[in-house]
Structure 1
C-alpha cells in the first residue's frame, strides 16, 4: 500500500514584484542612461563660407551635463534602496524617480531643439557665438529617454511592492533569526552563535 504525499506548491513571486529583480532593473537602467551620454547625441554641420562645411559631433555628456549627473544620482539611489529600511527606501525611491523624470525632461528638450542644445559647443568650436548650424539629434538621446522611463517604472514598482518586503537588510535578518532562536531551548552551539553575533547568551 502506497501513501501519496500531499503536493505543496510554493507561491512564486512574479518578476515585477521581486526586490532583487526591480533594483537590478533600476541599476541597469541608470547605467544605460549614463552609457548613452558617452556617445554622440548631436551631429552638427557648420557652414564655413559658401561651400566649406565643418562637421561636429557632440556627445551627451557635453550636450546635457545634467543628464550624466542625474544618472549618477539615480544609480547611487538605486544601490542605496537595496539596503535601505522601509522609510529610507521610500526616500531613495522618490529621489531615483525624480532623477528619471528630470532626465526625460532634459533629453526631450534636446531632441526637440538640437540646434539650441549645440549652440555652446558650436560657439566653442568656431569662436563665434550664435554661429548658424544644421544640428540633428542621433538615436542615443531617444535611447536615454527609453532607459529613463524604464528607470522610473522600476522605481514606482519598488515603491508599490516594497511595502510587502519583509527582510530588508542583514541586520534585520540577524534580528529575525535571533528572535526565532530565542523561542526554543538554547544549547552550547546556540551560545557560541550568540557570542559571534555580539550578544550576551546569559542575558
Structure 2
C-alpha cells in the first residue's frame, strides 16, 4: 500500500477512520444534547389523567405530569444532556465512559416511560392522593402521547450513543498541544545556552575580555590599583 492509499485508509492526521453519520465530534455532541433536551421536554406535560370524588366535590380532575409519574425520566434526561456536554471536552478514554452513561440513561428513560404505558394506574392513584387526598378513581385513566414520545427518545439516545461510538475513532484531539518544538541544531535555547557548545555566549560570561566585575573594580580602585591593568 503506497503512502497516499495509507493516508486515505487511516484518515486525516493518521487517525483511524470513523463510521456512520457522527464521525464529527460536534455533530455527535449536538445530537446527544438535543435528544436529552427533548426527552426532558416530554416529561413536563401531563402524562395521565383521571378523576376522583371527595366529600366536598363530586368530581375532581387529576392530572399527573411525567416528572411525577416517572421521576427517573427527568434525571435520565439531565444525565444525557450532561453526557453530551462531556463529549465536547472528553479525551480518548473519557469519551467512551460518557457514551456508555448516555446509553444507560437513555435506556432508563425508555424503561420508565414504558412502565407507565403498561400500567398507568399506580401513577394516577399517586397523583389522586397528592391532589385530593383520596385514592379511589372514579373514571378510567387516560394516557397522553407524551410517554410514547419519551420512550422513543430514550431508544433514540441509545442509538445516538452507538453511532457516536462508531464515529469516535475519527474524532480529533479536544485541543491543541502547546508543546515547545525541539530547537534546531546550532541555535540557542531560551536560557541563552549554545546547544552546540553547551556554554553561554561569550558576551554573557563574567570572565570575557573587557568585562569587569563592579565589586572587584571598586575594591581595586580603593587599593589604588588600576583594575584593567591585568586584563
Q: Give the TM-score of the pair, scaled to structure 1.
A: 0.73
Structure 2 Cα separation of the partners of residues 106 and 24 of structure 1: 24
**CA spacing shift, 1:125–1:165, aligned 2, 3 Å:** same
After superposition, give the CA deviation of every residue in 1:117-176 in whole Å (9 maximum; x if it has no partner): 222111122212x42352121011111112222211111111121122232x12xx234x
Larger Rg belongs to = 2
Name the structure with the higher helix share: 1
- Secondary structure of the residue that 1:142 maps to in structure 2? helix
Task: Verify: 1:54 aligned to 2:69, yes or no.
Answer: no
**CA spacing shift, 1:184–1:147, aligned 2, 3 Å:** farther
Which residue number in structure 1 is paired with residue 88 of structure 2? Answer: 82
- Secondary structure of the residue that 2:158 maps to in structure 1? helix
Task: Verify: 1:33 aligned to 2:2, yes or no.
Answer: no
Structure 2 Cα separation of the partners of residues 113 and 46 of structure 1: 18
Which residue number in structure 2 is paired with residue 174 of structure 1? Answer: 177
**CA spacing shift, 1:142–1:201, aligned 2, 3 Å:** farther
Which residue number in structure 2 is paired with residue 138 of structure 1? Answer: 144
The structural deviation recorded for 1:47 is 4.7
- Secondary structure of the residue that 1:16 maps to in structure 2? coil
How many residues were matched structurally?
170
Which residue number in structure 1 is paired with residue 70 of structure 2? Answer: 64
Structure 2 Cα separation of the partners of residues 94 and 111 of structure 1: 26
Which residue number in structure 1 is paired with residue 79 of structure 2? Answer: 73
**CA spacing shift, 1:184–1:68, aligned 2, 3 Å:** same
Structure 2 Cα separation of the partners of residues 18 and 153 of structure 1: 16
- Secondary structure of the residue that 1:17 maps to in structure 2? coil
Name the structure with the higher strand share: 1
**Preserved contact between residue 32 and residue 83 of structure 2 (Cα < 8 Å):** no
Q: CA RMSD in A?
A: 2.8
- Uncovered stretches (5+) of structure 2, i.e. residues with no partner: 1-11, 13-17, 194-231
Structure 2 Cα separation of the partners of residues 92 and 61 of structure 1: 24
Q: How does 1:4-23 map to 2 (within 5 A)?
A: 15-23=21-29
**Preserved contact between residue 21 and residue 167 of structure 2 (Cα < 8 Å):** no
Which residue number in structure 1 is paired with residue 48 of structure 2? Answer: 42
Which residue number in structure 1 is paired with residue 205 of structure 2? Answer: none
Structure 2 Cα separation of the partners of residues 65 and 81 of structure 1: 25
- Secondary structure of the residue that 1:85 maps to in structure 2? coil
- Uncovered stretches (5+) of structure 1, i.e. residues with no partner: 1-10, 186-199
